[in-house]
Chain A
Amino acid sequence: MKLGQLFPSLLTLLCAISAHADEVNVAVAANFTAPMNAIAAEFAKDTGHQAKLAFGSSGKFYAQIKSGAPFQVFLSADDEKPAKLAQEGLAVPASRFTYAIGTLVLWSSQPALVDANGEVLKKGKFNKLALANPKLAPYGQAAIEVLTGMGLLNQLTPKFVQGENIAQTYQFAMTGNAELGFVALSQVMKDGKIANGSAWIVPGKLHTPIRQDAVILETGKGNAAADALMKYLKSDKARAIIKSYGYEI
Protein backbone atom coordinates (compact mmCIF):
# COMPACT_ATOMS: atom_id res chain seq x y z
CA MET A 1 0.00 0.00 0.00
CA LYS A 2 1.33 3.38 -0.89
CA LEU A 3 1.57 6.10 1.66
CA GLY A 4 -0.94 8.19 -0.25
CA GLN A 5 -3.49 5.43 0.23
CA LEU A 6 -2.58 4.68 3.81
CA PHE A 7 -3.36 8.09 5.21
CA PRO A 8 -6.98 8.40 4.02
CA SER A 9 -7.77 4.87 5.20
CA LEU A 10 -6.36 5.63 8.67
CA LEU A 11 -8.47 8.73 8.80
CA THR A 12 -11.57 6.76 7.91
CA LEU A 13 -10.75 4.22 10.62
CA LEU A 14 -10.34 6.91 13.29
CA CYS A 15 -13.61 8.54 12.32
CA ALA A 16 -15.36 5.20 12.54
CA ILE A 17 -14.08 4.58 16.08
CA SER A 18 -14.98 8.00 17.38
CA ALA A 19 -18.44 7.79 15.97
CA HIS A 20 -19.19 4.63 17.89
CA ALA A 21 -17.29 5.11 21.18
CA ASP A 22 -17.00 8.48 22.82
CA GLU A 23 -14.97 9.47 25.84
CA VAL A 24 -16.22 11.29 28.88
CA ASN A 25 -14.17 12.88 31.64
CA VAL A 26 -15.84 12.44 35.01
CA ALA A 27 -15.04 14.20 38.29
CA VAL A 28 -16.01 11.79 41.06
CA ALA A 29 -16.33 12.49 44.79
CA ALA A 30 -13.64 10.51 46.62
CA ASN A 31 -16.11 8.56 48.73
CA PHE A 32 -17.61 7.05 45.60
CA THR A 33 -14.28 5.74 44.25
CA ALA A 34 -14.84 2.00 44.62
CA PRO A 35 -18.40 1.76 43.25
CA MET A 36 -17.60 4.13 40.39
CA ASN A 37 -14.62 2.03 39.27
CA ALA A 38 -16.87 -1.00 39.15
CA ILE A 39 -19.60 0.91 37.30
CA ALA A 40 -17.18 2.40 34.76
CA ALA A 41 -15.88 -1.06 33.89
CA GLU A 42 -19.40 -2.36 33.25
CA PHE A 43 -20.28 0.85 31.40
CA ALA A 44 -17.39 0.32 28.98
CA LYS A 45 -18.35 -3.30 28.45
CA ASP A 46 -22.03 -2.55 27.86
CA THR A 47 -21.84 0.64 25.79
CA GLY A 48 -18.30 0.84 24.36
CA HIS A 49 -17.92 4.34 25.79
CA GLN A 50 -14.94 5.21 27.95
CA ALA A 51 -15.48 7.01 31.25
CA LYS A 52 -12.19 8.55 32.37
CA LEU A 53 -12.43 9.03 36.13
CA ALA A 54 -10.78 11.62 38.35
CA PHE A 55 -11.32 11.27 42.10
CA GLY A 56 -11.03 14.02 44.65
CA SER A 57 -12.74 16.35 47.03
CA SER A 58 -15.97 17.87 45.76
CA GLY A 59 -14.95 21.34 46.96
CA LYS A 60 -11.79 21.23 44.90
CA PHE A 61 -13.63 19.95 41.84
CA TYR A 62 -16.08 22.81 42.22
CA ALA A 63 -13.23 25.32 42.21
CA GLN A 64 -11.56 23.61 39.26
CA ILE A 65 -14.78 23.45 37.22
CA LYS A 66 -15.28 27.16 37.80
CA SER A 67 -11.79 27.68 36.42
CA GLY A 68 -12.58 25.70 33.29
CA ALA A 69 -11.42 22.18 34.18
CA PRO A 70 -12.12 19.79 31.28
CA PHE A 71 -14.76 17.60 32.94
CA GLN A 72 -18.04 16.75 31.28
CA VAL A 73 -19.76 15.07 34.22
CA PHE A 74 -19.54 15.81 37.95
CA LEU A 75 -20.51 13.24 40.61
CA SER A 76 -20.55 15.31 43.77
CA ALA A 77 -20.54 14.15 47.39
CA ASP A 78 -23.46 16.45 48.12
CA ASP A 79 -26.43 18.02 46.38
CA GLU A 80 -25.40 21.65 46.93
CA LYS A 81 -22.49 21.97 44.57
CA PRO A 82 -24.20 20.54 41.46
CA ALA A 83 -27.14 22.86 42.16
CA LYS A 84 -24.82 25.81 42.52
CA LEU A 85 -23.03 25.01 39.29
CA ALA A 86 -26.36 24.75 37.49
CA GLN A 87 -27.36 28.12 38.93
CA GLU A 88 -24.13 29.65 37.76
CA GLY A 89 -24.71 28.38 34.26
CA LEU A 90 -21.82 25.92 34.38
CA ALA A 91 -23.99 22.80 34.38
CA VAL A 92 -27.10 21.60 32.61
CA PRO A 93 -29.91 22.03 35.19
CA ALA A 94 -32.18 19.35 33.76
CA SER A 95 -29.50 16.68 33.96
CA ARG A 96 -29.17 16.89 37.77
CA PHE A 97 -30.28 13.80 39.74
CA THR A 98 -29.43 11.91 42.93
CA TYR A 99 -27.28 8.91 42.07
CA ALA A 100 -26.72 7.70 45.64
CA ILE A 101 -27.80 8.39 49.21
CA GLY A 102 -25.14 7.89 51.83
CA THR A 103 -25.76 5.93 55.02
CA LEU A 104 -24.25 7.26 58.22
CA VAL A 105 -22.85 4.76 60.66
CA LEU A 106 -21.32 5.11 64.12
CA TRP A 107 -18.37 2.79 64.04
CA SER A 108 -15.54 1.62 66.28
CA SER A 109 -12.62 -0.61 65.49
CA GLN A 110 -13.21 -2.28 68.88
CA PRO A 111 -15.59 -5.23 68.46
CA ALA A 112 -18.00 -4.67 71.39
CA LEU A 113 -17.91 -0.92 71.93
CA VAL A 114 -20.84 0.19 69.79
CA ASP A 115 -24.29 -1.23 70.57
CA ALA A 116 -27.21 -1.59 68.16
CA ASN A 117 -28.88 1.63 69.35
CA GLY A 118 -25.96 3.99 69.77
CA GLU A 119 -26.34 4.09 73.56
CA VAL A 120 -22.58 4.30 73.78
CA LEU A 121 -22.83 7.98 72.91
CA LYS A 122 -24.91 8.71 76.01
CA LYS A 123 -22.59 6.83 78.35
CA GLY A 124 -19.70 8.92 77.10
CA LYS A 125 -17.11 6.25 77.94
CA PHE A 126 -14.78 6.89 75.02
CA ASN A 127 -11.84 9.18 74.38
CA LYS A 128 -12.62 10.87 71.08
CA LEU A 129 -15.42 10.99 68.57
CA ALA A 130 -14.31 11.40 64.98
CA LEU A 131 -16.58 13.05 62.44
CA ALA A 132 -16.15 14.76 59.12
CA ASN A 133 -15.92 18.53 59.17
CA PRO A 134 -19.64 19.50 59.14
CA LYS A 135 -18.83 22.64 57.21
CA LEU A 136 -17.41 20.62 54.34
CA ALA A 137 -18.88 17.15 54.36
CA PRO A 138 -22.55 16.11 54.32
CA TYR A 139 -21.66 13.15 56.53
CA GLY A 140 -20.34 15.57 59.14
CA GLN A 141 -23.44 17.72 58.87
CA ALA A 142 -25.59 14.60 59.29
CA ALA A 143 -23.61 13.55 62.36
CA ILE A 144 -24.21 16.96 63.95
CA GLU A 145 -27.94 16.63 63.27
CA VAL A 146 -27.99 13.19 64.91
CA LEU A 147 -26.21 14.44 68.01
CA THR A 148 -28.42 17.51 68.21
CA GLY A 149 -31.52 15.32 67.99
CA MET A 150 -30.20 13.11 70.79
CA GLY A 151 -29.46 16.22 72.88
CA LEU A 152 -25.80 15.28 73.13
CA LEU A 153 -24.15 17.97 71.00
CA ASN A 154 -22.85 20.30 73.69
CA GLN A 155 -21.81 17.45 75.91
CA LEU A 156 -19.80 15.71 73.19
CA THR A 157 -18.30 18.68 71.35
CA PRO A 158 -15.10 18.57 73.48
CA LYS A 159 -14.53 15.02 72.26
CA PHE A 160 -14.73 15.92 68.58
CA VAL A 161 -11.87 15.33 66.22
CA GLN A 162 -12.66 16.37 62.69
CA GLY A 163 -11.49 14.82 59.48
CA GLU A 164 -11.28 17.05 56.44
CA ASN A 165 -13.33 14.48 54.61
CA ILE A 166 -15.03 11.21 55.37
CA ALA A 167 -11.95 9.20 54.34
CA GLN A 168 -9.77 10.89 56.89
CA THR A 169 -12.45 10.53 59.52
CA TYR A 170 -12.46 6.81 58.92
CA GLN A 171 -8.66 6.80 59.28
CA PHE A 172 -8.89 8.35 62.76
CA ALA A 173 -11.34 5.67 63.83
CA MET A 174 -9.61 2.81 62.05
CA THR A 175 -6.23 3.49 63.71
CA GLY A 176 -7.95 3.63 67.11
CA ASN A 177 -6.86 7.18 67.75
CA ALA A 178 -10.55 7.98 68.03
CA GLU A 179 -12.51 5.19 69.66
CA LEU A 180 -15.72 6.21 67.92
CA GLY A 181 -16.38 7.71 64.53
CA PHE A 182 -19.32 8.78 62.40
CA VAL A 183 -18.31 7.34 59.06
CA ALA A 184 -19.97 6.19 55.86
CA LEU A 185 -21.42 2.73 55.75
CA SER A 186 -19.69 2.30 52.40
CA GLN A 187 -16.35 2.56 54.18
CA VAL A 188 -16.87 -0.26 56.66
CA MET A 189 -18.83 -2.57 54.42
CA LYS A 190 -17.27 -5.43 52.58
CA ASP A 191 -19.21 -7.92 50.50
CA GLY A 192 -22.51 -6.63 51.80
CA LYS A 193 -21.76 -6.71 55.54
CA ILE A 194 -19.79 -4.82 58.14
CA ALA A 195 -16.33 -6.35 58.02
CA ASN A 196 -14.99 -5.72 61.53
CA GLY A 197 -15.32 -3.66 64.70
CA SER A 198 -18.78 -2.70 65.92
CA ALA A 199 -21.31 -0.34 64.38
CA TRP A 200 -24.66 1.36 64.74
CA ILE A 201 -26.29 2.07 61.40
CA VAL A 202 -27.93 5.42 62.10
CA PRO A 203 -31.63 5.41 61.05
CA GLY A 204 -32.19 7.71 58.09
CA LYS A 205 -34.92 9.62 59.91
CA LEU A 206 -32.42 11.09 62.39
CA HIS A 207 -30.84 13.35 59.76
CA THR A 208 -31.39 15.00 56.40
CA PRO A 209 -30.66 12.48 53.67
CA ILE A 210 -27.09 12.58 52.45
CA ARG A 211 -27.85 13.09 48.81
CA GLN A 212 -25.07 12.74 46.29
CA ASP A 213 -26.02 14.42 43.02
CA ALA A 214 -24.64 14.08 39.55
CA VAL A 215 -24.85 16.68 36.79
CA ILE A 216 -23.71 17.16 33.20
CA LEU A 217 -21.47 20.19 32.90
CA GLU A 218 -21.77 22.83 30.16
CA THR A 219 -18.71 21.36 28.45
CA GLY A 220 -20.45 17.98 28.27
CA LYS A 221 -23.54 19.23 26.55
CA GLY A 222 -24.21 17.07 23.51
CA ASN A 223 -21.52 14.57 24.45
CA ALA A 224 -22.99 11.18 23.68
CA ALA A 225 -20.86 9.37 26.25
CA ALA A 226 -21.91 11.82 28.97
CA ASP A 227 -25.56 11.27 28.24
CA ALA A 228 -25.00 7.53 28.13
CA LEU A 229 -23.23 7.55 31.50
CA MET A 230 -26.03 9.51 33.20
CA LYS A 231 -28.52 7.04 31.81
CA TYR A 232 -26.37 4.10 32.88
CA LEU A 233 -26.14 5.38 36.45
CA LYS A 234 -29.90 5.06 36.69
CA SER A 235 -29.92 1.47 35.38
CA ASP A 236 -30.73 -1.46 37.65
CA LYS A 237 -27.29 -2.89 37.10
CA ALA A 238 -25.58 0.29 38.32
CA ARG A 239 -28.00 0.64 41.24
CA ALA A 240 -27.21 -2.89 42.37
CA ILE A 241 -23.53 -2.07 42.40
CA ILE A 242 -24.16 1.17 44.30
CA LYS A 243 -26.23 -0.61 46.94
CA SER A 244 -23.66 -3.36 47.37
CA TYR A 245 -21.24 -0.66 48.51
CA GLY A 246 -23.51 0.52 51.31
CA TYR A 247 -25.40 3.36 49.65
CA GLU A 248 -29.16 3.71 49.42
CA ILE A 249 -30.87 4.68 46.22
Chain B
Amino acid sequence: MGFSDADLAAIWLTLRLASTTTALLLLIGTPIAWWLARTRSMWKGPVGAVVALPLVLPPTVLGFYLLLILGPDGPVGRLTHLLGLGALPFTFWGLVVGSVFYSMPFVVQPIQNAIEALGERPLEVAATLRASPLDCFFTVVLPLARPGFITAAILGFSHTVGEFGVVLMLGGNIPGVTRVVSVQIYDHVEALEYAQAHWLAGSMVIFSFLVLLTLYTRRPNLNKAG
Protein backbone atom coordinates (compact mmCIF):
# COMPACT_ATOMS: atom_id res chain seq x y z
CA MET B 1 0.00 0.00 0.00
CA GLY B 2 1.24 3.47 -0.82
CA PHE B 3 -0.23 6.77 -1.91
CA SER B 4 -3.59 6.76 -3.66
CA ASP B 5 -4.19 9.02 -6.65
CA ALA B 6 -6.08 11.37 -4.38
CA ASP B 7 -3.10 11.45 -2.01
CA LEU B 8 -0.71 12.20 -4.87
CA ALA B 9 -3.00 14.96 -6.11
CA ALA B 10 -3.01 16.42 -2.60
CA ILE B 11 0.79 16.23 -2.40
CA TRP B 12 1.25 17.88 -5.78
CA LEU B 13 -1.26 20.59 -4.88
CA THR B 14 0.46 21.21 -1.55
CA LEU B 15 3.86 21.63 -3.21
CA ARG B 16 2.36 23.99 -5.78
CA LEU B 17 0.64 26.02 -3.07
CA ALA B 18 3.76 26.22 -0.90
CA SER B 19 6.03 27.25 -3.79
CA THR B 20 3.64 29.90 -5.05
CA THR B 21 3.14 31.24 -1.55
CA THR B 22 6.88 31.31 -0.80
CA ALA B 23 7.69 33.13 -4.04
CA LEU B 24 4.98 35.71 -3.38
CA LEU B 25 6.02 36.09 0.24
CA LEU B 26 9.63 36.78 -0.66
CA LEU B 27 8.42 39.48 -3.04
CA ILE B 28 5.95 41.04 -0.61
CA GLY B 29 7.74 40.25 2.64
CA THR B 30 11.13 41.65 1.69
CA PRO B 31 10.03 45.29 1.36
CA ILE B 32 8.01 44.95 4.56
CA ALA B 33 11.00 43.44 6.38
CA TRP B 34 13.26 46.15 4.97
CA TRP B 35 10.92 48.85 6.18
CA LEU B 36 10.47 47.26 9.60
CA ALA B 37 14.22 46.82 10.01
CA ARG B 38 15.07 50.42 9.18
CA THR B 39 12.16 52.68 9.97
CA ARG B 40 12.00 54.97 12.96
CA SER B 41 8.32 55.61 12.29
CA MET B 42 5.73 55.30 15.03
CA TRP B 43 3.99 52.75 12.80
CA LYS B 44 6.80 50.23 13.20
CA GLY B 45 5.22 48.72 16.32
CA PRO B 46 1.67 48.36 14.97
CA VAL B 47 2.78 47.02 11.58
CA GLY B 48 5.18 44.57 13.22
CA ALA B 49 2.39 43.38 15.51
CA VAL B 50 -0.02 42.85 12.60
CA VAL B 51 2.61 40.86 10.71
CA ALA B 52 3.18 38.70 13.80
CA LEU B 53 -0.54 38.10 14.49
CA PRO B 54 -0.66 34.70 12.76
CA LEU B 55 1.99 33.51 15.24
CA VAL B 56 -0.48 33.73 18.10
CA LEU B 57 -3.90 33.56 16.48
CA PRO B 58 -5.51 30.18 16.00
CA PRO B 59 -5.48 29.57 12.23
CA THR B 60 -9.23 29.08 12.36
CA VAL B 61 -9.63 32.72 13.44
CA LEU B 62 -7.58 33.86 10.49
CA GLY B 63 -9.47 31.51 8.18
CA PHE B 64 -12.83 32.63 9.49
CA TYR B 65 -12.07 36.32 8.96
CA LEU B 66 -10.59 35.68 5.54
CA LEU B 67 -13.77 33.81 4.65
CA LEU B 68 -15.80 36.84 5.69
CA ILE B 69 -13.53 39.43 4.07
CA LEU B 70 -12.99 37.55 0.82
CA GLY B 71 -16.62 36.37 0.65
CA PRO B 72 -19.24 37.98 -1.60
CA ASP B 73 -20.32 40.42 1.12
CA GLY B 74 -16.81 41.19 2.36
CA PRO B 75 -14.85 44.28 1.28
CA VAL B 76 -12.20 42.34 -0.62
CA GLY B 77 -14.80 40.01 -2.09
CA ARG B 78 -16.69 42.96 -3.52
CA LEU B 79 -13.50 44.34 -4.98
CA THR B 80 -12.53 41.06 -6.65
CA HIS B 81 -16.04 40.86 -8.09
CA LEU B 82 -15.78 44.39 -9.46
CA LEU B 83 -12.41 43.54 -11.00
CA GLY B 84 -13.96 40.48 -12.64
CA LEU B 85 -11.80 38.08 -10.64
CA GLY B 86 -14.77 36.39 -9.04
CA ALA B 87 -14.76 35.09 -5.50
CA LEU B 88 -11.51 33.86 -3.97
CA PRO B 89 -12.74 31.33 -1.39
CA PHE B 90 -12.72 27.73 -2.64
CA THR B 91 -10.08 28.54 -5.27
CA PHE B 92 -6.35 27.87 -5.43
CA TRP B 93 -5.63 31.60 -5.37
CA GLY B 94 -7.87 32.00 -2.38
CA LEU B 95 -5.64 29.52 -0.55
CA VAL B 96 -2.59 31.43 -1.77
CA VAL B 97 -3.98 34.64 -0.27
CA GLY B 98 -4.73 32.84 2.99
CA SER B 99 -1.31 31.21 3.10
CA VAL B 100 0.46 34.49 2.41
CA PHE B 101 -1.13 36.00 5.50
CA TYR B 102 -0.67 32.85 7.53
CA SER B 103 3.04 32.38 6.75
CA MET B 104 3.94 36.09 6.61
CA PRO B 105 5.74 36.29 9.98
CA PHE B 106 7.85 33.24 9.15
CA VAL B 107 9.24 35.04 6.12
CA VAL B 108 9.30 38.64 7.30
CA GLN B 109 10.96 38.08 10.66
CA PRO B 110 14.10 36.20 9.54
CA ILE B 111 14.67 38.76 6.79
CA GLN B 112 14.03 41.63 9.17
CA ASN B 113 16.47 40.18 11.70
CA ALA B 114 19.12 39.66 9.05
CA ILE B 115 18.79 43.23 7.80
CA GLU B 116 18.82 44.61 11.33
CA ALA B 117 21.96 42.61 12.08
CA LEU B 118 23.69 44.20 9.08
CA GLY B 119 23.28 47.65 10.56
CA GLU B 120 23.62 50.92 8.69
CA ARG B 121 27.31 50.71 7.96
CA PRO B 122 27.39 48.48 4.85
CA LEU B 123 24.64 50.60 3.33
CA GLU B 124 26.57 53.77 4.04
CA VAL B 125 29.74 52.29 2.61
CA ALA B 126 27.90 51.27 -0.55
CA ALA B 127 26.47 54.78 -0.89
CA THR B 128 29.93 56.33 -0.64
CA LEU B 129 31.01 53.92 -3.39
CA ARG B 130 28.31 55.32 -5.71
CA ALA B 131 25.77 52.53 -5.27
CA SER B 132 22.13 53.67 -5.44
CA PRO B 133 19.87 52.22 -2.73
CA LEU B 134 18.45 49.59 -5.12
CA ASP B 135 21.91 48.69 -6.40
CA CYS B 136 23.05 48.42 -2.78
CA PHE B 137 20.13 46.12 -1.96
CA PHE B 138 21.07 43.61 -4.65
CA THR B 139 24.85 43.79 -4.35
CA VAL B 140 25.30 44.21 -0.60
CA VAL B 141 22.16 43.52 1.42
CA LEU B 142 21.07 40.43 -0.47
CA PRO B 143 24.44 38.64 -0.37
CA LEU B 144 25.13 39.60 3.25
CA ALA B 145 21.63 38.75 4.49
CA ARG B 146 21.43 35.60 2.39
CA PRO B 147 21.22 33.21 5.36
CA GLY B 148 18.20 35.18 6.56
CA PHE B 149 16.54 34.92 3.15
CA ILE B 150 17.18 31.19 2.94
CA THR B 151 15.78 30.65 6.43
CA ALA B 152 12.76 32.75 5.46
CA ALA B 153 12.14 30.73 2.31
CA ILE B 154 12.47 27.38 4.09
CA LEU B 155 10.23 28.43 6.98
CA GLY B 156 7.66 30.02 4.68
CA PHE B 157 7.52 26.92 2.48
CA SER B 158 7.30 24.38 5.27
CA HIS B 159 4.87 26.39 7.33
CA THR B 160 2.57 26.58 4.32
CA VAL B 161 2.89 22.83 3.82
CA GLY B 162 1.81 22.35 7.42
CA GLU B 163 -1.10 24.75 7.12
CA PHE B 164 -4.46 23.32 8.06
CA GLY B 165 -6.89 25.60 9.81
CA VAL B 166 -6.90 28.33 7.21
CA VAL B 167 -7.23 25.90 4.33
CA LEU B 168 -10.04 24.13 6.10
CA MET B 169 -11.93 27.38 6.50
CA LEU B 170 -11.19 28.80 3.09
CA GLY B 171 -10.79 25.76 0.87
CA GLY B 172 -14.00 23.75 0.71
CA ASN B 173 -12.01 20.53 0.23
CA ILE B 174 -12.13 20.45 -3.57
CA PRO B 175 -9.88 17.68 -4.94
CA GLY B 176 -6.94 19.06 -6.91
CA VAL B 177 -7.92 22.65 -6.12
CA THR B 178 -7.98 23.07 -2.39
CA ARG B 179 -7.59 19.61 -0.87
CA VAL B 180 -4.04 19.78 0.44
CA VAL B 181 -2.12 17.10 2.29
CA SER B 182 -3.05 18.20 5.82
CA VAL B 183 -6.76 18.14 4.93
CA GLN B 184 -6.36 14.80 3.23
CA ILE B 185 -4.77 13.40 6.39
CA TYR B 186 -7.61 14.81 8.47
CA ASP B 187 -10.13 13.16 6.15
CA HIS B 188 -8.34 9.83 6.36
CA VAL B 189 -8.29 9.97 10.15
CA GLU B 190 -11.91 11.03 10.41
CA ALA B 191 -12.91 8.27 8.00
CA LEU B 192 -10.97 5.78 10.13
CA GLU B 193 -8.63 5.06 7.19
CA TYR B 194 -5.67 4.87 9.48
CA ALA B 195 -3.28 3.09 7.10
CA GLN B 196 -3.71 5.80 4.46
CA ALA B 197 -3.36 8.43 7.14
CA HIS B 198 -0.08 6.88 8.29
CA TRP B 199 1.46 7.08 4.86
CA LEU B 200 0.77 10.77 4.51
CA ALA B 201 1.30 11.71 8.14
CA GLY B 202 4.57 9.78 8.27
CA SER B 203 5.77 11.54 5.14
CA MET B 204 4.94 14.88 6.74
CA VAL B 205 6.95 13.99 9.83
CA ILE B 206 9.95 13.01 7.71
CA PHE B 207 9.60 16.13 5.56
CA SER B 208 9.40 18.42 8.59
CA PHE B 209 12.35 16.70 10.23
CA LEU B 210 14.47 17.12 7.11
CA VAL B 211 13.53 20.79 6.84
CA LEU B 212 14.50 21.47 10.43
CA LEU B 213 17.64 19.41 10.08
CA THR B 214 18.65 21.53 7.10
CA LEU B 215 17.97 24.69 9.07
CA TYR B 216 19.89 23.65 12.15
CA THR B 217 22.89 22.15 10.40
CA ARG B 218 23.19 25.24 8.23
CA ARG B 219 23.57 27.53 11.26
CA PRO B 220 27.28 27.14 12.01
CA ASN B 221 28.17 27.95 8.41
CA LEU B 222 26.68 31.43 8.55
CA ASN B 223 28.84 34.07 6.97
CA LYS B 224 31.00 35.59 9.63
CA ALA B 225 30.86 39.33 9.18
CA GLY B 226 34.37 40.70 8.71
The answer to whether A and B touch directly, with their CB atoms under 8 angstroms apart, is yes
A: residues with CB less than 8 A from B are 57, 59-60, 62-63, 84, 127-128, 130, 133, 135-136, 160-164, 168, 171-172, 175-178
Identify the closest chain B residue to A172 (Cβ): B172
Contacts of B72 in A (CB 8 A): 176-177
Do A136 and B187 touch (CB < 8 A)?
Answer: yes
Q: Are A128 and B190 in contact (CB under 8 A)?
A: no
A31 to B147, CA, bound (A): 48
Bound complex: CA A63 to CA B192 (Å)? 8
Residue contact A62 to B192, C-beta cutoff 8 Å = yes
B4 to chain A, nearest CB (A): 13
**In the complex, what residues of A have CB within 8 A of residue B87's CB?**
127, 177
**Pick from A135, A136, A160, A176: contact of B174, CB under 8 Å:** A160
Which residues of chain B are within 8 angstroms of A171 by Cβ–Cβ distance? 64, 67, 169
Besides A63-B189, A135-B187, 5 new A-B residue pairs in contact (Cβ under 8 A), listed by A number = A163-B172, A164-B168, A171-B64, A171-B67, A175-B67
Please report the C-alpha to C-alpha distance between residue A163 and residue B169 in the assembled complex, in whole angstroms: 8
Chain B residues with a Cβ under 8 A of chain A: 64, 67-68, 70-73, 87, 89-90, 168-169, 172-174, 183, 186-187, 189-192
**Residues on B with beta carbons closer than 8 Å to the beta carbon of A162:** 172-174
B192 contact from A59, A133, A176, Cβ within 8 A:
A59
Cα distance, A59 to B188, chains bound together (Å): 10
CA distance A162 to B169 in the complex (A): 10
Known: A133-B173, A171-B64. A176 touches B71 (CB 8 A): yes
Complexed CA–CA distance, A118 and B87 (Å): 25
Q: Say whether A164 contacts B67, CB under 8 Å.
A: no
A4 → B minimal CB distance (Å): 52
